[in-house]
Amino acid sequence: MAAASSSPNALSALQAKGVTVLNPESVYIADDVSPERISGDGVVIYPGTRMVGSRTLIGPGCVIGAEGPATLDDCALGARVQFKGGYATHSVFLDDVAVGLGAQIREASLLEEQSSVAHNVGLKHTILFPFATLGSQINFCDALLAGGTSRKDHSEVGSGFVHFNYTPRGDKATASAFGDVARGVWLREQRVFLGGNGGAVGPVRVGFGVVSGAGIILRDDAPDDSIFAYEQPLPQNRDPKLDGTFRRNVSRQIAYLAGLRALKVWYELIRKPYFEAEGELGIALYEAAVELIDVTIAERKTRLKDLALQVRPTTEGRKQLAANIDTVLDAITKTHVPEHPDVISATTVSAGKKSYLDAIQSLPYVLVPQGEAWLNAVVGDVCRAAVKPILALDVHPWRGLIAASSATKGRIIKTKASTTSHRTQ
């Protein structure tokens, strides 16, 4: 049936340019897929593969469907991506990403260089920074994961982990950050380890170096270098009708959106020259990634607006939020943010000479604090502009952002039932 529907011209064009199509009769290439956007250099398409969508982009060395049927719907793949089987739609996979059989990668997921997910993993509006690794049987939607310095030292999520991103009230203003953008992009931070058969109840902010044991469910924020040996006690005041919880959730979503804005700045000012050095396919991959970040920002703004309007305006702060929510959301995307010409110049000078990862990892350490300060300034400016119309709500999302300090390093948090003890190593 696939052979009757597939475009023979598209298959012929792909094979003519060097794409290996195994058993073409079982491969479906839709008419809207452009052969010009598929590299002919080392690409292998296995039986049972389906490709649809005019934005489909396949870089050199990609292998699709090696473990089972694979469907790519308007997805952009960089170089040497291994999409072994499953379904992906409107998502971007940068160089050397690996995706196991049975994956369901839904819209607006961005997997950066050398990140990987094993079999039966579900993602949506998820961003994995370089090297991040997810095990099997995982649901990790509406989240950002950073940390780690290489494929041997990477942030990892154990098999069976769930990011709980949907509340009984139907609220999805629950995006969580594991690590952060301002520090994570420099590929110098400690990895995050989330143990198998565990979870996190969004929205939470989890710092770099956090270790959460198998079976642990994180229900509240975790500072840098914390180790969770037992289950966290249920946080107080989780009822969204109480201002404490409401402020907490609003602040985390504003901070998450500010981080996304910083990530877009990073792509536009730092990453773009590295994509451009790869030619037309690289430019198209850059455009797909930035568009995806925009889609994620739009989704999170929608969810924040839903949260703001679902509660009764019983306090002055809530009244301000309900009345000014559009102004708050506009500030997130329209506020002018600072640039740092020296950092930008020093970080992009290697474009066309080194790969992006090699260039970032070889930056002098003295430059990194300047870069982190610059991106933190982006986050801070966006947050301040966003909360200005809702001062009575007393939301300060840029305060209390996870940051390494002597007060948190090495802290072990052992919690069982309702007992919590702290020990500093």
- The domain segmentation of the chain, as residue ranges, is 249-393
**Is the pLDDT confidence value at 237 over 70?**
no
Tokens linked to 115: 């990140």
- What token pair was written down for 92? 């971007």
At 419 the pLDDT is 34
Cβ-based neighbours of 112, under 8 Å, separated by 6 or more: 94, 97, 127, 128, 129, 130, 132
The answer to whether 129 and 184 are in contact (CB under 8 A) is yes
For 424, other C-beta atoms within 10 Å of its C-beta total: 10
Q: How many CA atoms lie within 13 A of 355 on its CB side?
A: 11
- The CA angle 330-331-332, to the nearest 5 degrees, is 90
Question: Which pTM does this prediction carry?
Answer: 0.91
**Least trusted range by pLDDT, from 121-135, 309-323, 348-362:** 309-323
Band of the pLDDT at 6, cuts 50, 70, 90?
low
pLDDT class of 3 with cuts at 50, 70, 90:
very low
Residues in a beta bridge with 156 = 133, 193
Percent share of the chain, pLDDT over 90: 81
pLDDT in tens, 306-315: 999 988 888 9
Best CA proximity match to 271, nearest among 390, 404, 113: 113
Does the pLDDT value for residue 256 go beyond 80? yes
What's the pLDDT score for residue 119? 97
Contact 107, 125 (CB under 8 A): yes
The SS3 call for residue 412 is strand
Least Cα distance to 18 among 51, 43, 49 occurs for 43
Q: How far is CA 381 from CA 257, 259, 387, in A?
A: 12, 11, 10
**pLDDT for the residue 185:** 98
Phi first, then psi, for residue 254 (nearest 5°) are -65, -45
pLDDT at 400: 53
Closest CA to 18 of 36, 39, 48: 39
DSSP summary character for residue 8: H
Q: Nearest-CA neighbor of 338 among 404, 293, 385?
A: 385
- In this model, does residue 236 exceed pLDDT 70? no
Q: Which residues contact 110 (CB under 8 A, 6 or more apart)?
A: 91, 92, 94, 126, 127, 128, 289, 292, 293, 296
Identity of the amino acid at 176: S
Mean pLDDT to the nearest integer, 270-289: 97
Is pLDDT of 90 > 70?
A: yes
Please say if the pLDDT value at position 135 is more than 50.
Answer: yes
* pLDDT band with cut points at 50, 70 and 90 for residue 316: very high
For residue 154, pLDDT beyond 90: yes
Give the pLDDT of residue 235.
60
For the chain, state the CA radius of gyration: 22
Provide the 8-state DSSP code for 59.
Answer: -
Residue 224's pLDDT is 94
The more confident residue out of 258 and 408 is 258
- Tell me which residue has tokens 């209390």: 400
pLDDT above 70: residue 332: yes
Which region holds residue 114: left if phi is over 0, alpha if psi is between -120 and 50, else beta? left
Q: What is the pLDDT of residue 424?
A: 28
Q: Is 312 exposed, middle or buried (0-12, 13-18, 19+ CB in 10 A)?
A: exposed
Residue 229's pLDDT band (boundaries 50, 70, 90)? confident
Band the pLDDT of 2: cuts 50, 70, 90.
very low
Burial class (CB in 10 A: 0-12, 13-18, 19+), 395: buried
The pLDDT value recorded for residue 422 is 32
Query: pLDDT tens-digit profile of 393-418?
Result: 999 887 755 544 333 344 455 444 33
Q: Quick one: tokens of 254? A: 């504003």
